[in-house]
């Protein structure tokens, strides 16, 4: 991806990229139980420092998403066979409103903000996942199935508990990982109840720069470079 405008911070561990606002990077997820990538989303950097990475997934962005080998969307497959049938990946567009994604270094979740048309704020979404691993062209993670939605009135609910249970049954999440995911979820709930960052930080009032172009999906979206930092 384009690294134009990226700032280089040199530390004792080597060069760690800090991306300037407007830079284009990839936000990717590895296959659960496999070495490859099954989700890749070109995003625009909103903010990037030692405490927070914020990126914008614009409407209409060409992305990569998983499908069944016959092209069936994953969510249409019955849960009992959703994670055992052969998979493929497919290029597609991000439809609907855009998504603002926020992640702090080392934290086992990211927080996504959704809006209805007309910029009416809808909700926050806590995506439990591996802490982001940075590389020159973006960030990588692995999704952990279990999620939390947070409403504007600060109420919250667990999401996809059935998928999390099925992933354990199908061997994609072992007991040790399940324990870590549940622990991460409990920590996230503590942040929500305390109304800590990023929920208290007014990101729902943020708007993208109208001059930003929609980033393109590179042909080598699935390349596997060495990660340089978390």
Question: Helices in 56-174 by DSSP H: which ranges?
Answer: 79-82, 161-169
* 3-class secondary structure, 219: coil
Where is 185: in which H helix or E strand?
helix 175-194
Beta bridge partners of 111: 102, 126
Fold assignment, 7-201: FomD barrel-like fold (2.40.380)
| pLDDT one-digit tens code per residue, 146-196 | 999 999 999 999 999 999 999 999 999 999 999 999 999 999 999 999 999
**pLDDT confidence tier of residue 96, bands split at 50, 70 and 90:** confident
If one counts every other C-beta atom within 10 angstroms of the C-beta of residue 82, the result is: 17
Average confidence (pLDDT) over 196-210: 98
β-bridge pairing 24-30 and 138-141? parallel
Average confidence (pLDDT) over 78-106: 96
* 3-class secondary structure, 172: coil
With helix as H, strand as E and coil as C, how does 32-79 read? Answer: CCCCCEEEEEEEEEEEECCCCEEEEECCCCEEEEEEECCCCEHHHCCH
**pLDDT confidence tier of residue 230, bands split at 50, 70 and 90:** low
What is the domain partition of the chain in residue ranges? Answer: 7-201
Q: How far, in Å, CA of 30 to CA of 40, rounded?
A: 9
């Amino acid at each position: 991806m384009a690294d134009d405008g990226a700032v280089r911070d040199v530390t004792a561990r080597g060069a760690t990229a800090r991306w300037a606002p407007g830079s284009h990077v990839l936000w990717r997820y590895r296959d659960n139980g496999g070495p490859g990538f099954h989700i890749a989303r070109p995003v625009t950097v909103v903010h990037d420092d030692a405490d927070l990475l914020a990126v914008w997934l614009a409407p209409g962005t060409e992305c990569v998403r998983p499908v069944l080998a016959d092209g069936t969307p994953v969510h249409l497959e019955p849960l009992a066979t959703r994670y055992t049938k052969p998979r493929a990946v497919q290029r597609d567009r991000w439809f609907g409103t855009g998504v603002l994604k926020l992640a702090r270094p080392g934290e086992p979740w990211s927080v996504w903000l959704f809006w209805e048309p007309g910029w009416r704020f809808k909700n926050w979404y806590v995506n439990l996942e591996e802490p982001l691993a940075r590389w020159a062209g973006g960030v990588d993670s692995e999704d952990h199935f279990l999620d939390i939605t947070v409403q504007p009135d600060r109420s919250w609910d667990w999401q996809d508990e059935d998928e999390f249970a099925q992933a354990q049954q199908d061997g994609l999440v072992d007991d040790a990982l399940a324990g870590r995911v549940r622990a991460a979820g409990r920590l996230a709930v503590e942040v929500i109840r305390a109304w800590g960052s990023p929920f208290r930080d007014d990101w729902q009032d943020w708007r993208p720069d109208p001059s930003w172009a929609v980033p393109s999906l590179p042909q080598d979206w699935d390349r596997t470079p060495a990660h340089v930092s978390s």
